[in-house]
Amino acid sequence: MDKKRVYTFGNGQAEGKAGMKNLLGGKGANLAEMNLIGIPVPPGFTITTDVCTEYNELGREKVVQLLQKEVITAIESVEFLMKSKFGDVETPLLVSVRSGARASMPGMMDTILNLGLNDEVVEGLIRKTGNARFAWDSYRRFVQMYGDVVLGMKPTNKDDIDPFEAIIEEVKHAKGVKLDNELKVEDLKELVQKFKKTVKVKTGKDFPTNAYEQLWGAICAVFNSWTNERAILYRKMEGIPYEWGTAVNVQAMVFGNMGDSSATGVCFSRDAGTGEDLFNGEYLINAQGEDVVAGIRTPQQITKIGSQRWAELAGVSEEERVAKFPSMEEIMPEIYQELDELQTKLENHYKDMQDMEFTVQEGKLWFLQTRNGKRTGAAMVKIAMDLFRQGVIDEKTALMRVEPNKLDELLHPIFDKEALTQAKVLTRGLPASPGAATGQIVFFADDASEWAAAKKAVIMVRIETSPEDLAGMAVAEGILTARGGMTSHAAVVARGMGKCCVSGAGALRIDYKARTVEIDGVLLKEGDYISLNGSTGEVYLGEVETKEAELSDDFAELMKLADKYTRLQVRTNADTPHDAMVARNFGAVGIGLCRTEHMFFEGEKIKAMREMILAENIEERRIALAKILPYQQEDFKGIFKAMEGLPVTVRLLDPPLHEFVPHDLKGQEEMAEAMGVSLKYIQERVESLCEHNPMLGHRGCRLGNTYPEITEMQTRAILGAALALKKEGVVTHPEIMVPLTGILREYKEQDNVIRAEAAKLFAEVGDSIDFTVGTMIEIPRAALTADRIASAAEFFSFGTNDLTQMTFGYSRDDVASFLPIYLEKKILEVDPFQVLDQKGVGQLIQMATEKGRAIRPELKCGICGEHGGEPSSVKFCHRVGLNYVSCSPFRVPIARLSAAQAALED
Ligand code: PEP
Ligand code: MG
């Protein structure tokens, strides 16, 4: 038998189920599942994601042929259940055609509603419903959507106006009305006729009247939309492969626009912004589904409490709220109760927060969609922990539910409270996506991208956003819209991105042409600063200082749970006491890498360092080193103290020398004077230090081996600091690390210098301290000869930045010239400097660990390259049995959670 391409559902039966997401897409799989668990869903069918792939390979004609029989049979079964007929005048069946990929891609692809209408069918629909306004409104929406999406009439240029919108404006103007819903039946009829005329003019063809012709057009348009620009961009951002394809869902229409007993809405079983366990959502009376999401009318709240909270934020009095913006709970109490029961049922069934779409047609509730809701990082943690405490999921599931990378958002800045008291509130919108953002106003996505590329912080200000704005939203600090609610495009997308967003700020008067926005009498231009609080909806004038986030108890509890399962330890890369403290507060259990060259970036220290590098001979170098020693010792004391009781790996100097010498005349003159030498000498010395390949040049232990006095000074500073602290009763565990080892001999030389200097110091002081000496493994030769190196080194730390550089042969400093093209061409899937290359570099790590431990079973192995805070790389480190990962302070929680997940995945 030919393969099955179409799966039907309806009336409590379904050929698919929730587990078939890959084949049916998220929406299709859940529509099937909802049927199976007794949720009222309009009948329909899903065309599989495989067909999308066939469509892209074989083309339209062939695929329509392949689908023909199954689609017609499926339509017949919908006709049977709906007691109506597709294309029939007397009992017409209308359908919706929607996309639905494996992963949700909100608003990225196309949808067509009310399909099946023509000039005769619309009359039949009027006879059947007795509602001419509804029928003509549905018809004009259909022609508009079909024209835009299927016939390609939607403008691609931001300055062009949608031809259909232009006609609506023209007719509204002629009739002297402001709102769409003030148009009369006759006006709507006129719109349809004008729309169809425009179609004929622009496409050269009549608007299709045959229902099946319309259907095939719509199905193919959905497949086409898989490869539209915004879908491609979204996939790139979310890492969704092209090969997945989208399914197409064809479903009997139910109507939320049949009068005042009809409605449509979107709801969440918990708060997607904060995670609060509170049913919430928005609805519109007498409207069609897309109206809520499109942000064209600002919707009302579903629950009474939500409505009251909204009114408070919007400054609307209780009387006005009840009169003008009542909740669904208040005006449709029975439907509300059913909705509430079913949302609870869905959440319990899926054991996660649900994002649902529904329609009420003349008092009957239908669910159109459910999916696990997108949420902010804070909500993600709270929901996982709440569901665990409520006994819905176990602790392991709770840990696996949290996406490590999304924790990053929790660590995002909030406004400095003090600065906030000084700031002027311009207006308030809806708190659509939490966080604090400050930046310069831009109105268009292109400008946002351009300005952001020039390192400007921008806030994107729009009347409403649409998927075309995605690229701009991605680079903006925050998003502010005049229209649209909590489920508007801007809100949903911003939350997914973890980006601060304030939506529906009605006081904004935006003039795109003049590039200005007026807010309650204050006129702001493009480039002016504003600040947004996505947690309260407040909009501030000017720049408001931000500060680091405060972490919730749920976060702390989650981290505690993580530690219960983790085997891999998490240390941090830190060069200052402040960074060390931040990391320690995030749960780091030591420092895996303290880069000593970073300690010389400022003031007198850089001068002493330059003197050391520029010195002509060993005597002069020793003089410069003697100046550096007290600075170094103080710095180490600070770090050891911050990390009291925990191990601290201090790496000996590994500077690319040319970065530290002055290249400008002023700096060179300054050094000449400080060192009492001629300018010419300094210039020659700087010149001679320049290397063609500094990354492969005189750095790492090559420096320590050519100038052992540097290693001596550093050893003295490290152990001197530890001894001084010992006197104060502070316990330290110094680990001295030799960088860039490639040959056993060069390591041994350094080891000898360190131990000799330590012995000398201990004798001088009359006291000693325990310490270990080990090496970085960051040169392929070191990994290949790891057994030999382990015969002398007490620990290994994989420097995967250099190891990646030298394994691939890509210069860390110059990779940007070709990497983007490699990624685009898929020669590389990901940037190997961000995500560990497990097949190549990973193999070296695994082999070196095994070889090293064969000689020294207790050999402690860690990683301290950038990969130490990247989830998939952390999981790899767990699997190959490393002892720890070390990452930047703000990545510590991410690494801890990844480590726990790795253990659970075992
Ligand atoms: C590394 O190479 O991975 C490393 C941690 O050292 P650096 O980045 O300082 O070269
Ligand atoms: Mg390195």
Residue 651 labeled ligand binder: yes
Mean pLDDT of 615-637: 93
Q: To the nearest whole number, what is the mean pLDDT of the chain?
A: 92
Structural contact between residues 722 and 646, judged by C-beta atoms closer than 8 angstroms: no
799 lines ligand 1 (CB under 6 A): yes
Ligand 1 geometric centre to CA of 568 (Å): 20
Return the amino acid letter for 778.
E
CB of 575 closer than 6 angstroms to any ligand 1 atom: no
Q: In which band, very low, low, confident or very high, does the pLDDT at 866 lie, cut at 50, 70 and 90?
A: confident
Atom of ligand 1 nearest to the CA of 866: 3
799 is in an annotated binding site: yes
Lowest mean pLDDT among 505-509, 541-545, 660-664, 704-708: 660-664
Question: Residue 664 Cα, ligand 2 centroid: separation in angstroms?
Answer: 27
801 CA from centroid of ligand 2 (Å):
6
Q: Is residue 596 lining ligand 1, measured as CB closer than 6 Å?
A: no
Q: What is the Cα–Cα distance from 80 to 372, expressed in whole angstroms? A: 31
pLDDT of residue 294: 55
29/21 Cα distance (integer angstroms): 5
- For residue 172, the CA-to-ligand 2 centroid distance in Å is 67
The answer to whether the beta carbons of residues 855 and 832 sit under 8 Å apart is no
Q: Looking at per-residue confidence, does 433 or 334 come out higher? A: 334
802 is in an annotated binding site: yes
Give the residue-averaged pLDDT of 339-359: 96
pLDDT band per the 50, 70, 90 thresholds, residue 804? very high
* Residue of 52, 412, 489, 861 marked catalytic: 489
Q: Which residues, including other chains, have CB under 8 Å from residue 861's CB and lie 6 or more apart?
A: 795, 796, 797, 798, 849, 852, 853, 881, 882, 883
Q: How far does CA 563 lie from the centroid of its chain?
A: 25
Q: At what angle are helices 185-203 and 163-175 packed, to 10 degrees? A: 150
Q: From atom 6 of ligand 1, which residue's Cα is the shortest distance away?
A: 799
- Report, as an integer, the average pLDDT of 81-93: 93
From the candidates 500, 864, 877, 887, give the one annotated as an active-site residue: 864
- Pick the residue whose CA is nearest to atom 10 on ligand 1: 802
Among 127-131, 805-809, 896-900, name the one with the lowest average pLDDT. Answer: 127-131
Residue 548 reports pLDDT greater than 90: no
**Phi/psi of residue 114, nearest 5 degrees:** 65, 30
Confidence of residue 158 (pLDDT cuts 50, 70, 90): low
Mutate to test the pocket of ligand 1, among 598, 650, 741, 778 (most ligand atoms within 8 A of CB): 778
| The ligand 1 atom nearest the CA atom of 573 | 5
Tens-place pLDDT, residues 473-510: 989 999 999 887 666 677 777 776 768 899 888 899 99
Cβ of residue 864 lying under 6 Å from some atom of ligand 1: yes
Residue 352 has pLDDT above 90, yes or no: yes
Q: Which domains does the chain have, with CATH numbers?
A: 1-118+210-253 (3.30.1490.20), 121-208 (1.20.80.30), 263-375 (3.30.470.20), 412-547 (3.50.30.10), 566-656+691-905 (3.20.20.60)
Confidence of residue 536 (pLDDT cuts 50, 70, 90): confident
pLDDT of residue 498: 67
**Nearest bound ligand to CA 862?**
1
Phi, psi angles (nearest 5°) of residue 535: -90, -25
Q: Is the pLDDT score of 870 beyond 80?
A: yes
pLDDT band at 903 (very low <50, low <70, confident <90, very high): very high
- pLDDT value at residue 504: 83
Is any atom of ligand 1 closer than 6 Å to the C-beta of 865?
A: yes
| CA–CA separation, 81 and 64 (whole Å) | 25
pLDDT tens column, 756-778: 999 999 999 999 999 999 999 99
pLDDT value for 886: 97
Using one digit for the tens of pLDDT, what is the confidence trace for 885-894? 999 888 899 9
Q: Which of 158, 171, 364, 356 is nearest to 256 (CA)?
A: 364
Measured between its terminal Cα atoms, the distance across the chain in Å is: 40
Average pLDDT over residues 304-325: 92
User: Across residues 122-151, what is the average pLDDT?
Assistant: 91
| 425-454: burial string, b at 16+ Cβ within 10 Å, e else | ebbbbbbbbbbbbbbbbbbbbebbbebbee
Shortest-distance Cα residue to atom 9 of ligand 1: 595
Q: Position of tokens 């500077």?
A: 655
The answer, yes or no, to whether any atom of ligand 1 lies below 6 A from the CB of 800, is: yes
- Alpha-carbon distance of 406 to 498, in angstroms, equals 8
- Cα–ligand 1 centroid distance for 621 (angstroms): 26
235 is in an annotated binding site: no
Is 864 marked active-site?
A: yes
List 371's β-bridge partners, or say none.
355
Q: State residue 464's pLDDT score.
A: 83
Surrounding residues of ion ligand 2, Cβ less than 5 A: 778, 799, 802
Whole-number pLDDT of residue 607:
85
Q: Has residue 597 got a pLDDT over 90?
A: no
- Could you give the 3-state DSSP secondary structure of residue 494? helix
Residue 659 has pLDDT above 90, yes or no: no
Taking the CB of residue 702, how many other CB atoms lie within 10 A of it? 16
Q: State the average pLDDT over residues 831-838.
A: 92
Tens digit of pLDDT for each residue in 242-300? 999 999 999 999 989 888 899 999 999 999 988 999 999 999 998 876 666 555 677 89
Helices 577-585 and 618-642: crossing angle in degrees, nearest 10, is 30
Of the pLDDT bands very low, low, confident and very high (cuts 50, 70, 90), residue 162 is confident
Q: Is 861 a catalytic residue?
A: no
For residue 1, name the pLDDT band (cuts at 50, 70, 90).
Answer: low
Res. 104 pLDDT band, cuts 50 70 90: confident
Q: What is the DSSP string of 664-724?
A: SHHHHHHHHHHHT--HHHHHHHHHHH--SSGGGSS-THHHHHH-HHHHHHHHHHHHHHHHH
Lowest mean pLDDT among 415-429, 511-525, 727-741: 415-429
